[in-house]
Amino acid sequence: MTAEEYNRTVDEHADGVYRFIVHNIKDKDEAKDVVQDAFEKFWKNHENVQFEKAKSYLFTAAYHTMIDRIRRSKKTEPMDDADYNNHSHSKQYSDLKEILRDAVNKLPEIQRSVVLLRDYEGYSYEEIGEITGLNESQVKVYIYRARVALKEYIGSMSNVV
């Protein structure tokens, strides 16, 4: 990849990578650091990356950098510890975007990541597997579990609207 292609990749994908990371770690400054580190790794290895694979490489680098930072700060919650029964509410509320954001934030880290990659960024199951290091079946299972948890948290649309 040439320096010109690298710069074009930065222009096209920096916002998407940042949105993905900030949705996961909820700290804008930390997200900026993660994205900066991902672009640094990308630059160091830009000669070995094909331009067509740059977006996937960039999201993968950012994802792994984010995971490393989370592990270092010990903020992860094992999936087994998540109590889906406590994530529901019945109050009337009209800000659906806020409710959905709160629901997504309550998901375990891996489920939140795959749902954001699938539903917010539009990646295929195969691409999500490449980014997260999971196989396609695991990705589908995590997405299914996340959607079930979101459905239980949000409840029926009549409670939300």
In the predicted structure, residue 76 carries a pLDDT above the cut 50: no
Q: Which two tokens stand for residue 152?
A: 């239980």
pLDDT of amino acid 86: 56
Q: Which residues does 102 contact at the CB level (< 8 Å), separation at least 6? A: none
As a whole number, mean pLDDT of residues 32-41 equals: 88
Q: CATH for 78-161, among 2.40.30.330, 1.20.59.10, 1.25.40.10, 1.10.10.10?
A: 1.10.10.10
pTM of the model: 0.54
In the predicted structure, residue 90 carries a pLDDT above the cut 70: no
H/E element holding 159? helix 157-160
Instruction: Judge residue 31's burial from the number of C-beta atoms within 10 Å of its C-beta, 0-12 exposed, 13-18 middle, 19 or more buried.
Output: buried
Find the angle CA(28)-CA(64)-CA(33) to the nearest 5 degrees: 30
* CATH number belonging to domain 1-76: 1.10.1740
Domain boundaries, the chain: 1-76, 78-161
Q: Does residue 137 or residue 78 have the better pLDDT?
A: 137
DSSP designation for 45 = T
